[in-house]
Amino acid sequence: MSTFSTPAILLRRSSYGDYDLIVTLLSLEKGKITVIAKNAKKSRKRFPGLLELFSVLHIECRNPRGRGLAFLQDAALENPFSSIRGNIMKTSYASYWAELVNLWLEEGKEQNRIYYLLRFCLDSLDTGIIGNEELSIIFQLRFLSFSGLSPNFSQCNQCRKKMDEINGYHLFFELAKGGILCKGCSSISLYSQNLSRGTVKQLLWIQENDLKTAGRLKLNQAALNEGLQFLEKFMVFHIGKEPKSLKFLRNLRSHMP
Ligand SMILES: [Zn+2]
């Protein structure tokens, strides 16, 4: 097909020569796509104020040869999410989610659940209806689940003992196998880490409820901190490196009161 149109969220933009921009988007119809916006740098009138990070657009593209980069023909703005871009903490969270999507997804493979997840989280981040930290927990848990890497919090990964039947304030989590362990099973695992029962319960609750319900859960600060640190570590473990935006986010968070 030589032309297509789709809703899409802008994940990344970079200069290409003096005149053009290369833009990566998460589109509803075609998953992650990278397109070239001719003359977007040269003429401000070409795509006025449209090709900004995290903007939701409706784009039209043309690929006359049917291969290589498609050309961005037209773009209409559906939501600029200007409150996100005006706030450094919100921008940092959105950048982290966008980088995860960009690093993880294959080009051209439809991922509509991830599209709607990112859109929901950007929307809620922009309006502030759900806290930044809660949203990042929700985003990462759902993203892992849609990528087939959902952490197992419901039962011991080894002996299948139910979470509620495991004793102790601290549970153990094995990153490599992606699940909690009871005390007995953790003693034979070399790489498990502590995770408090309260945090595990709240993460499990978010996993089991729909997005809107999950967004109403108010986590206490200790569970928020532990949940975020855990999920970010789990994500880095699977990606094999620390995303640049995560490094920035962690640094920024450590300097906030
Ligand atoms: Zn066990």
pLDDT at 85 over 80: yes
pLDDT per residue as tens digits for the range 30-52:
999 999 999 998 888 889 889 99
Q: Taking the CA atoms of 114, 120, 126 and 131 in sequence, report the sign of the dihedral they define.
A: negative
pLDDT at 65 over 90: no
Q: Distance between CA atoms of 71 and 108, rounded to whole angstroms?
A: 15
pLDDT per residue as tens digits for the range 116-171:
999 999 999 999 999 999 999 999 999 999 999 999 999 999 999 999 999 888 89
The residue type at 48: P
Q: How many Å lie between the centroid of ligand 1 and the Cα of residue 139?
A: 28
Q: Distance between CA atoms of 195 and 227, rounded to whole angstroms?
A: 9
Specify whether the CB–CB gap between 218 and 138 falls below 8 A. Answer: no
Q: How many Å lie between the centroid of ligand 1 and the Cα of residue 158?
A: 5
Q: Distance between CA atoms of 77 and 58, rounded to whole angstroms?
A: 6
Q: Distance between CA atoms of 115 and 59, rounded to whole angstroms?
A: 15
Return the pLDDT at 215.
Answer: 87
Q: Distance between CA atoms of 112 and 118, rounded to whole angstroms?
A: 10
Domains delineated in the chain? 1-80 (2.40.50.140), 82-257 (1.20.1440.120)
Q: How many Å lie between the centroid of ligand 1 and the Cα of residue 174?
A: 12
Q: How many Å lie between the centroid of ligand 1 and the Cα of residue 156?
A: 5
% of the chain beyond a pLDDT of 70:
100
pLDDT at 1 over 80: no
Return the pLDDT at 160.
Answer: 95
Mean pLDDT of 205-218: 90
Q: What is the pTM of this model?
A: 0.94
